[in-house]
């Protein structure tokens, strides 16, 4: 538990499922005030709000598309209207789809770049400008991926977006460090979330992924949420511009594990 997170206002995009949901619930346990952004009407955000409140936190939810400037502005306004400030911005909303690169349409390329990179830029910009205006030494946490450094055939748009997120994080960290605003990245490996459901329903495909993980298992969303609360807390107060790989060793060249080479 991180005492300083109590009552902190934490805005999370894509908060109704997967890693966003796990982070929202963990911030609830820290008794933070959580603003959930969700995209789809059938999202189970009500249930997440109840879980957060049962744990002693507070939560509200607002629908919005992170690729739309006006929706992102509304998200920030809603946070301020409901809870009075913004302390932590977690850019989590992200999408992926598998297509061989020679067949990737401009539309698909654009969609992934819009959500994964432009969406994160828009919410970072809005949150940082609020923090600057109100002299808040806040935190921005971007959800990147191991694919901000591991090339990923058939997912060129996704890998390009995450590489962009990593450099955006580092640039913003440098730019706002003098103001006490920290900007960091979390780069998860293979985690058991709905984005991977199809793959992990297939035992062969699952084993192929496990073979890429030196620690030998698929990560749990709670393990990523644990990174997020640490990065948002004062315990990481001297950490900025960093990418925290939470990947069971996936970025450490598992092919070399046996000492060959």
HEC assignment per residue over the chain = CCHHHCCCEEEECCCCCHHHHHHHHHHHHCCCEEEEEECCCCCCHHHHHHHHHHCCCEEEEEECCCCCHHHHHHHHHHHHHHHCCCCEEEECCCCCCCCCHHHCCHHHHHHHHHHHHHHHHHHHHHHHHHHHHCCCCCEEEEECCHHHCCCCCCCHHHHHHHHHHHHHHHHHHHHHHHHCCEEEEEEECCECCHHHHHHHCCHHHHHHHHCCCCCCCCECHHHHHHHHHHHHCHHHCCCCCCEEEECCCCCCCHHHCCCCC
User: Does residue 91 bind ligand BGC (CB under 6 A)?
Assistant: no
Q: Rule CB under 6 A: is residue 243 a binding residue for ligand BGC?
A: no
Among the candidate windows 52-60, 85-93, 134-142, 189-197, which touches ligand BGC by CB under 6 A? 189-197
| Distance in Å, CB of 21 to ligand BGC, minimum | 15
Q: For the CB of residue 55, give the shortest distance to ligand BGC in the complex, in Å.
A: 27
Residue closer to ligand BGC, measured from CB, 7 or 206: 206
Provide, rounded to whole angstroms, the least separation between the CB of residue 85 and ligand BGC.
Answer: 31
**Whose Cβ is closer to ligand BGC: residue 185's or residue 233's?**
185
Our CB check for ligand BGC shows the closer of 193 and 233 to be 193
Q: Which stretch binds ligand BGC (CB under 6 A): 54-62, 115-123, 129-137, 188-196?
A: 188-196
With a CB cutoff of 8 Å and minimum separation 6, the contacts of 87 are 8, 9, 10, 136, 138, 139, 232
Q: How many residues bind ligand BGC (CB under 6 A)?
A: 9
Q: Say how many C-beta atoms besides its own lie within 10 A of residue 196's C-beta.
A: 17
Q: Is 96 in the site for ligand BGC (CB under 6 A)?
A: yes
| Residue from 145, 185, 240, 243 binding ligand BGC (CB under 6 A) | 145
Among 7, 196, 223, 251, binds ligand BGC (CB under 6 A): 196
> Which one is catalytic: 2, 38, 130, 158?
158
Closer of 145 and 243 to ligand BGC (Cβ): 145
Question: Measured from the CB of residue 93, what is the shortest distance to ligand BGC in angstroms?
Answer: 13
Told to check if 251 binds ligand BGC by CB under 6 A, we report: no
Contact 157, 199 (CB under 8 A): no
Residues 59 and 10: their CA atoms lie apart, in Å, by 9
158 labelled catalytic: yes
126 contacts ligand BGC (rule: CB under 6 A): no
Among 55, 195, 210, 239, binds ligand BGC (CB under 6 A): 195
Residues designated catalytic: 158
User: Which residues would be at the binding site for ligand BGC (CB under 6 A)?
Assistant: 96, 145-147, 189-190, 195-196, 209
């Amino acid at each position: 538990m991180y005492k300083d997170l109590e009552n902190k206002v934490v805005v999370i995009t894509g908060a109704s499922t997967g890693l966003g949901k796990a982070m929202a619930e963990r911030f609830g346990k820290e008794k933070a005030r959580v603003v959930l952004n969700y995209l789809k009407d059938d999202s189970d955000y009500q249930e997440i709000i109840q879980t957060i409140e049962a744990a002693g936190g507070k939560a509200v939810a607002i629908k919005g598309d992170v690729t739309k400037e006006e929706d992102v502005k509304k998200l920030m306004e809603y946070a301020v209207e409901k809870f009075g400030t913004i302390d932590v911005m977690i850019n989590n909303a992200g999408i992926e789809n598998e297509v061989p690169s020679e067949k990737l349409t401009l539309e698909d390329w654009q969609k992934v770049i819009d959500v994964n990179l432009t969406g994160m830029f828009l919410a970072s910009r809005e949150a940082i400008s609020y923090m600057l205006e109100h002299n808040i030494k806040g935190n921005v946490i971007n959800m990147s991926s191991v694919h901000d450094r591991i090339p990923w055939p058939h997912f060129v748009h996704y890998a390009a977006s995450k590489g962009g997120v990593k450099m955006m994080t580092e640039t913003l960290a440098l730019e706002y460090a003098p103001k006490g605003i920290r900007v960091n990245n979390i780069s998860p490996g293979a985690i058991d979330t709905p984005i991977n459901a199809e793959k992990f329903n297939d035992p062969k495909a699952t084993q192929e992924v496990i073979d890429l993980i030196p620690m030998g298992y698929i990560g749990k969303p709670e393990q990523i949420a644990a990174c997020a609360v640490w990065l948002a807390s004062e315990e990481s107060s001297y950490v900025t511009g960093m990418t925290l790989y939470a990947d069971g060793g996936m970025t450490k060249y598992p092919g070399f594990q046996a000492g060959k080479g």
